[in-house]
Amino acid sequence: MNAPLDVLWLQSGGCGGCSMSLLCADTPDFPALLADAGLRLLWHPSLSRASGDEVTALLDEIANGRRPLDVLVVEGALLRGPNGSGRFHLLAGTGVPMISWVRRLAAQARHVVAVGSCAAWGGVTAGGANPTEACGLQYEDELAGGLLGAGFRAAGGLPVVNIAGCPTHPGWVLETLMALADGSLAAADLDALQRPRFYADQLVHHGCTRNEYYEFKASAERPSDLGCMMEHLGCKGTQAHADCNTRLWNGEGSCTRGGYACISCTEPGFQEPGHAFDSTPKLAGIPIGLPTDMPKAWFVALSSLAKSATPRRVKQNAVADHVVVPPAIRRTRK
């Protein structure tokens, strides 16, 4: 067995939600899961005993190259403001901007991992006029660059690994770290936006319980309706890269199962979609955000055909909050 991978976890301009999500990992013994995976938390802001100068001493040692670091995990956006000074986030007890710490620590780490869409792209923290000049570790929305620059490669050879999501699913984080620990994560396992492909090569639409409504374009009109939320309520599940409806959240949930639209929180720039989150922008009645891989003419033809063929059951249930018309019972034997 290899020596355990030392993981240092830092939080900057985010909500801490990715850490809270991580603790919801599906396991009866979280510390044992980490240990068995060959992961050792050198320090995590919510979980470790060390506080104050014990921590700054550790960070100094790593930043000065006196202690090796296997994985630097950053959660939360990097706050460059005001005016590039980084003073919107001084690491407590040090008076030094977090962006300076992250630059120095990233230069020493074997792998650098962005946990969550804030650390990956800037995320919600970079919303509106971006008052804090927030960015991701290696991206600013979809533009490569970010804090560390497009050319950054960690000592281990990989660019920043973007475990995007708002928050990230605990499974995405754990499997990425486990793959780093057993040396099985290669550049080819990352997609064009440096996200692990094991979850990013999927769409939220896959496995959505509303798929039958989608097929017939039987659409929800209000929150709590059962129908497909693509046509009116802003759902981007057909474009969002994530496995949320096949690898569920908190035991059995997902955004669409909770009755609200997928806002494509794993995609760069999702925080500023250019329209209200809860409604679908349309041009001449056709949603402008068409499903990934689908030509517009086909979508128009298919959806008008589908609408004309919608069964009464699907049409009525689509605008109710529970099944009002059950499926017909048919004899199974001839």
Binding letters toward another protein, positions 216-235, x by CB under 8 A: ------xxx-----------
DSSP class per residue in 265-279 = TTSTTTT--SS-TTS
Q: Which of 176, 256, 271, 280 is close enough to bind ligand SF4 by CB under 6 A?
A: 256
Q: Which of 39, 160, 163, 263 is close enough to bind ligand SF4 by CB under 6 A?
A: 263
Nearer to another protein, 43 or 199 (CB): 43
Bridge partners (DSSP) of residue 254 are none
Residues in region 121-180 near another protein by CB under 8 A: 124-125, 127-129, 131-132, 134, 166-167
Of 153, 170, 75, nearest to 114 (Cα)? 75
Helix (H) or strand (E) holding 40: strand 39-43
Residues in region 37-76 near ligand SF4 by CB under 6 A: none
Nearer to ligand SF4, 24 or 58 (CB): 24
The two tokens of residue 28 are 């009866």
∠ CA 15-20-26, nearest 5°, is 150
Options 53-61, 142-150, 209-217, 307-315: segment touching ligand SF4 (CB under 6 A): 209-217
User: Per CB under 6 A, does 124 bind ligand SF4?
Assistant: no
Residue 255 known to bind ligand: no
**For 133, phi and psi rounded to 5 degrees?**
55, 45
Asked if 202 and 241 touch (Cβ cutoff 8 Å), the reply is yes
Q: d(Cα 232, Cα 213) in Å, to the nearest integer? A: 13
Q: d(Cα 222, Cα 213) in Å, to the nearest integer? A: 15
If binding means CB under 6 A, how many residues of this protein chain bind ligand SF4? Answer: 24
Residue 24 known to bind ligand: no
The two tokens of residue 254 are 């997902």
Binding annotation: 15, 18, 118, 166, 205, 208, 228, 235, 244, 262, 265
Q: Which residues bind ligand SF4 (CB under 6 A)?
A: 165, 204-205, 208, 210-211, 214, 228-230, 235, 237-238, 240, 242, 244, 254-256, 262-266
